[in-house]
Amino acid sequence: MSPTDERVEALLARMTLAEKVGQMTLFTTDWGQTGPTIRAGYADDIRRGACGALFNSHTVAFTRELQRIAVEETRLQIPLIFGYDVVHGYRTILPIPLAEAASWDLAAIERSARVAATEAAAAGLHWTFAPMVDVARDPRWGRVMEGAGEDAFLGSRIAAARVRGFQGGGLGNTDAVMACVKHFAAYGAPIAGREYNTVDMSERYFREHYLPPYAAGVRAGAATVMTSFNDFDGVPASGSEFLLTDVLRGELGFEGFVVTDYTSINEMVAHGVAANDAAAGELAAGAGVDMDMQGAVFQRYLADSVAAGRISEARIDDAVRRILQAKVALGLFDDPYRFCDEERERREVLSPAHREAARDVARRSVVLLKNDAAVLPLARDARLLLVGPLAQSRVDMLGAWHGAGVADECVSLFDGITAAHQGKLEVERGCDIDGDDRSGFDAAVAAAARADVVLVAVGESAEMSGEAAARAEIGLPGVQSALVEALAATGKPVAVVLMNGRPLAIPTVAERATALVEGWWLGSEAGNALADVLYGDYNPAGKLPMSVPRSVGQVPLYYGEKSTGRPFDPASKWTSKYIDLPNAPLFPFGFGLSYTSFGYGEPGVDRSRFRAGERVTVSVTVTNTGDRAGEEVVQLYVRDVVASVTRPQKQLLGFEKIELRPHEARLVRFELGEEDLRFYRRDMSYGSEPGEFEIMVGGSSADLQSVRIVLE
């Protein structure tokens, strides 16, 4: 037994059942307009050992006082864990995770999480409720902004990068926080895209397309996992022994502790699988939940369930053991105030270095979708009209789940443009984000007549995406599309910057705009980062992590569809298609333009046939065919030509981001082995099958060249 284990076991032996249950209880504190407060009764809960962790408790001064109560006024002096939703930054706000996924830059994403963790830990925090690794293929769901998009492979790579970034060199370091992989499991597939709704999918589909990012986060060492609100195969996740015990612990080997999402134990009553909270608590504890977030079910009922023999005390000990081990790993028993250094807080929070890191990852996250007539980059001395309801917004640039971010500390697009532009600049609002008021159109159109270029900032407010923000219609809200059309009708070049948390169905805007930029919600340095891109100080290299639909009627929409018995054929009515729209998205997964251009040679392989244990090297020459240095994300996809079950038409299995000087060529290589071609076969065993595979390489999921190989 290790010294850590001995320490935990000795403490566990001294604890009463009530104190054990207290360690399994997580409560929130209030954070009102006048500052932090502790809810009535919670201080007494801490003193009684009836609460082992708190969330929404941050800043050194606040957490120090709460920790003092725990370690100086309780019988066993067990320190508290403090958690917070540091989803894309603490005070320095980074781009929303979906935007960062568009960078396809794993090093930048890991650095982003490092910034978030360093600030959070400096502010007295030990734990972040991130990363969200739910695969999402329906942009109606508001929380697509919080994940990495539609693809399991890209999502897995990003999940691991974010866990590494949050946990840094290891728990116990004062610049690291515990990561929490969420939401386990399949939360990203609610029916109709409606928040908290039922999830219904086959186990095969779950294992192949939704489980991999969770597994990647666990393999990267995530200290905690959060359950999801949805049911899976008819059982709410917080009560699913299959998910929490069989899969998470048995198959994935997870050794940390499991926390529920907010009151999700209580919600099993509304799900209709438990008669009351006490029964719901027994379901959750029996399934493998270790900590109850906010619902107080464990606190109120779990000891009685143990006394009645419905839950064993050994199960309680397992949960408490894992929680105490986390506290030991964080170093809290050695020094409960190790994260309470006010000088470190002043030095790290919103530091210039962190703001520069935020600016860098933000510009890497921008996706150039259209650039007719090379309208972008902008000339600094042009007569420029900046118009749109989001042009001067700061708070919306922070996006949903923006931690302790402050709007006044955010750089708006107007701020960034003002700092970069050297010519005449006019500004008009044009319209609001929502509503039908067009009274600002005339002034905007008149100003456009005086401009060389019109730059339009449109999109969603920060409240329109995120949790509990599903939208049935996913076009531009209000009359923003009409504003773009009115400006385009002037004949002046119109460059549209989208600011949003989900893919938006905007076919008319995409057609009328001369240039179109996906600018997402980029955080504290949004305006500066966008100006870097718009003026060409940074050559955009982002690629879409989600397909952009033409219409909400196409969703769910994703690149990896399976072939059907009647594949799409535009010449035949009797195939799988719409009669009023193309099947294809407005912009496909993996797509993104640059201010330069790239050419791809034909892909080649070093062997056309191979066996298990052997590797195939796939190579392709990529050339910068333009006059400006730029970055390109080279993507590799695979199709299993004939298998025992239907397979996706293409599946991402590799990517590499490269930088090329003008006219420079580079040979890019990918390696594939038999293990990369495994899937869940007809009998649900996991493995490969001999046969032919099409290997496709290119700059997006819709622009690929192929070569074939055979697995013997």
> pLDDT digit string (tens) for 404-461?
999 999 999 999 999 999 999 999 999 999 999 999 999 999 999 999 999 999 999 9
Beta bridge pairs of residue 497: 457, 517
- Estimate the share of the chain in helix, then strand, then coil, as percent rounded to the nearest 5: 35, 20, 45
Q: Is residue 16 predicted with pLDDT exceeding 60?
A: yes
Q: What percent of the chain has pLDDT over 90?
A: 96
- pLDDT tens-place string over residues 643-665: 999 999 999 999 999 999 999 99
pLDDT of the residue at 671 = 98
Q: Is residue 470 predicted with pLDDT exceeding 90?
A: yes
pTM score above 0.85: yes
Architecture of domain 3-345: Alpha-Beta Barrel (3.20)
Distance CA 458, CA 182 (A): 31
Distance CA 561, CA 556 (A): 10
Contacts of 116 (CB under 8 A, 6+ apart): 86, 88, 89, 90, 92, 94, 128, 130, 165, 166, 403
pLDDT of the residue at 560 = 97
Mean pLDDT of 684-699: 98
Q: Is residue 236 predicted with pLDDT exceeding 80?
A: yes
The alpha-helical segments, DSSP class H, found in 526-679 are 526-534
The alpha-helical segments, DSSP class H, found in 513-556 are 526-534
pLDDT category, 42, cuts 50, 70, 90? confident
pLDDT category, 2, cuts 50, 70, 90? confident
Cα first-last separation, the chain: 47
pLDDT of the residue at 1 = 78
Least confident of 24-38, 226-240, 286-300, 511-525: 24-38
Mean pLDDT of 87-111: 98
Q: Is residue 634 predicted with pLDDT exceeding 50?
A: yes
In the chain, what are the domain boundaries?
3-345, 362-554, 598-711
Phi, psi of 139 (to 5 degrees): -70, -5
- Kindly tell me the burial class for residue 527, based on how many C-beta atoms sit within 10 Å of its own C-beta (0-12, 13-18, 19 or more): buried
The residue that leads in pLDDT, 488 or 4, is 488
Q: Is residue 623 predicted with pLDDT exceeding 60?
A: yes
Mean pLDDT of 465-470: 97
Distance CA 62, CA 488 (A): 53
H helix count then E strand count, the chain: 23, 29
Architecture of domain 362-554: 3-Layer(aba) Sandwich (3.40)
pLDDT category, 273, cuts 50, 70, 90? very high
In the numeric block, the tokens 């695969």 are attached to: 135
Distance CA 345, CA 123 (A): 6
Domains 362-554 and 598-711 agree in fold: no
Residue pair 134/188 in contact by the 8 Å Cβ criterion: yes
Residue pair 571/456 in contact by the 8 Å Cβ criterion: no
pLDDT of the residue at 3 = 81
Q: Is residue 33 predicted with pLDDT exceeding 60?
A: no
Mean pLDDT of 18-35: 82
pLDDT category, 37, cuts 50, 70, 90? low
Mean pLDDT of 118-147: 98
Q: Is residue 506 predicted with pLDDT exceeding 60?
A: yes
Mean pLDDT of 8-31: 94
Mean per-residue pLDDT of the chain? 97
Distance CA 208, CA 200 (A): 15
pLDDT of the residue at 4 = 82
pLDDT of the residue at 35 = 57
| Structure tokens that stand for 253 in this block | 């080997």
Residue pair 340/64 in contact by the 8 Å Cβ criterion: yes
Mean pLDDT of 4-30: 94
pLDDT of the residue at 5 = 87
Long-range contacts of 335-340 (CB under 8 A, 24+ apart): 336/67, 336/70, 336/71, 336/79, 337/64, 337/67, 338/174, 339/60, 339/63, 339/82, 339/121, 339/122, 339/124, 339/125, 339/126, 339/174, 340/60, 340/63, 340/64, 340/67, 340/124
pLDDT category, 31, cuts 50, 70, 90? low
pLDDT of the residue at 402 = 96
- pLDDT tens-place string over residues 543-602: 999 999 999 999 999 999 998 999 999 899 999 999 999 999 999 999 999 999 999 999
Fold annotation for 598-711: Immunoglobulin-like (2.60.40)
- Residue 505: closest CA among 459, 544, 456, 551: 551
pLDDT of the residue at 619 = 98
- pLDDT tens-place string over residues 306-332: 999 999 999 999 999 999 999 999 999
Q: What percent of the chain has pLDDT over 70?
A: 99
Q: SS3 string of 223-280? A: CEEEECCCEECCEEHHHCHHHHHHHHHHHCCCCCEEECCCCCCCHHHHHCCCCCHHHH
Catalytic residues: 261
